[in-house]
Amino acid sequence: MVVDRTLVLLDVIMDTLPKEPFWLAAIIDGSGVGTWLWNVQTGETRFNNRWAEIIGYTLEELEPISIETWMFFAHPDDLEHSSALLEAHFKGETEFYHCEARMRHKNGHWVWVRDHGKVVSRTANGEPEWMAGSHLDITVEKEQRLSLERLDKIAKTIPGVIYEFRMDEHGNGTFPYASSGIELIYGVSPEQAKQDASLVYKAIHSDDLALVEASIAESYDSLEEWYCEYRTIVNGEEKWVTGYAIPEKNADGSVSWFGQIVDTTYDKGLELELKESHQNLERAQRIGKLGYWRANMKTGELYWSDMIYDMFGVEKGQFEPSVEAFSNAVHPEDIELVRESERKAMVTGMHDVVHRIIQPNGEIRWVHELADMQVQNNNNYLVGTVRDVTEQKKYELDLERLSLTDSLTGAYNRRYFDSRLTAIFHQVKTRDVQVAVATFDLDHFKKVNDTYGHAVGDTVLKDVVKIANDVFRSTDVFARTGGEEFTVLLVDCAVEQAAERLEELSERIASKLFYNGEHTFRISITGGLSQIMTTDNGASESIERADNALYKGKTSGRNQIVLG
């Protein structure tokens, strides 16, 4: 007869602990780990409650339990890999069996688990007998890893380093993320920067270190955008770099900056060269997309260098520069911004503004004006430079878009949604604003992916977002908060009006005919709807009500909007 050594071992452990029957279970349950025992020879399998909870079930719902239970819920693509790793462990090639695999949740989505185990007994013939192991839910960790991999691919197409820098209230800094370009800027790898942020500071030129630290401290206090030009020394070579980042306050009091640092050594060299000769100035302007100008603010007379003709898309000799002609070229939405900077210059002496211009052919360019106010013969003159910063602005806008939106669909992402939910909840509490919240997902979306492929599934998601953008208002906050899950805040909207919009969305999606190249198909949505209440203790309570309503809709037939 085969001896169940594992169970004997558990009995011994139980004998050494206090006799409360819940003691050992409490230790395991407290760890949040699902455990399993498997008799390789007989197929007998045992799971704890947490193992079932990871995929949304109770043990009773899974009975009868056997090794087939695992095989039924495991992703088919992962079973082959798991089997190969098990075989290697059975042969004694590995000390432990270790695998990351997906399991199908009761709600239809995939849960990533870290599967870890070991053979604890063998038969008299040396064959594996009992095996014990654990399952740990690593879905969030896995999704973060995949997101970082996608971000790394994007970062490789952008000059310089894309990064997140975080500083706590004690001034301690870390780099949770940095793209591979950090090695060109600071001479350290992304891994080194994550482990020791001081290595980055050590690469900054000693004459510029105080400037950089002061600029970071100022941005930390004010939460204003960080911008700094400074030098670094890498392998004995001095280079100029320019950094730009958007700060964000974290719940723990720390501040995170999301931004980009690029090597501007060449541009800086041109800038310094401008000071040496007027001839070199003209050449450098064209290379650096930089022009200089002088405006008489009283008479409206304006002089500008040749580069500005190109920048504004006009021909020298066919266009007469003037303050009025310049104003006509400024984007209508930015003209007041420019005027305000000019008014401030009368007091501070400094004109500094970034804005858009519209060329005669309709092309929109971004420019940065920097000038001093000078008084000569009772006339006020603005004398300065204008630089084409269209590409730089594009990078800034791309960075901002990446931090706020879902890369696949263009809808807002969960991070932005959570920040807006907190702010809007405050408005509801202080100003009694009516705000409805709705969550919805696509019914049987897994079947779409399994039947037609993920490329078709991605197209479906993008089309759903297009329809939603037509249904919801620009003041509403619509976000993709999961794989096929979406959430929307409808501001200044009673729940009855919100229900009408959700029903319209449901009808328009249901009437949409999708095509995969060979077959047509339709989809539907199930949604839950709630109202943010002034009596709510937290912003998440309304989301929970909407989620509960969504769950009711799912369990009662799908393809419906349920009020929670």
The pLDDT tens digits for 500-557 are: 999 999 999 999 999 988 889 999 999 999 999 999 999 899 999 999 999 999 999 9
pLDDT of the residue at 40:
94
Q: Which residue, 206, 200, 204, is CA-closest to 164?
A: 200
3-class DSSP assignment, residue 151:
helix
CATH number of 269-393: 3.30.450.20
Report the C-alpha gap between 243 and 161 in whole angstroms.
Answer: 9
pLDDT of the residue at 431:
84
CA distances from 266 to 8, 282, 288 (A): 73, 16, 9
With helix as H, strand as E and coil as C, how does 390-419 read?
HHHHHHHHHHHHHHHECCCCCCECHHHHHH
Report the C-alpha gap between 119 and 6 in whole angstroms.
Answer: 10
Q: Do the two domains 5-137 and 405-563 of this chain adopt the same fold?
A: no
Report the C-alpha gap between 48 and 37 in whole angstroms.
Answer: 9
Question: How many Å is the Cα radius of gyration of the chain?
Answer: 31
Q: Which residue, 98, 138, 91, is CA-closest to 118?
A: 98
pLDDT of the residue at 4:
41
Architecture of the structural domain at 5-137: 2-Layer Sandwich (3.30)
Q: Residues 260-285, buried b or exposed e (16+ Cβ, 10 A)?
A: bbbbbbebbebbeebeeeeeebeebb
Q: Where are the domains of the chain?
A: 5-137, 144-263, 269-393, 405-563
3-class DSSP assignment, residue 378:
coil
**pLDDT-flagged residues of the chain (< 70):** 1-31, 147-158, 274-288, 398-402
pLDDT of the residue at 31:
57
pLDDT of the residue at 10:
39
Residue that the structure tokens 């949505």 belong to: 525
258 has which bridge partners? 164, 246
CA dihedral 400, 403, 404, 405 (to 10 degrees): 110
Q: What are the tokens at 230?
A: 């400074």
CB 201 within 8 A of CB 209: yes
Q: Which residues contact 35 (CB under 8 A, 6 or more apart)?
A: 28, 47, 48, 50, 51, 132, 133, 134, 135
Q: How many Cα atoms occupy the beta-carbon half-sphere of 400 within 13 Å?
A: 10
pLDDT of the residue at 159:
74
CATH number of 144-263: 3.30.450.20
| pTM > 0.75 | no
CATH number of 405-563: 3.30.70.270
pLDDT of the residue at 556:
94
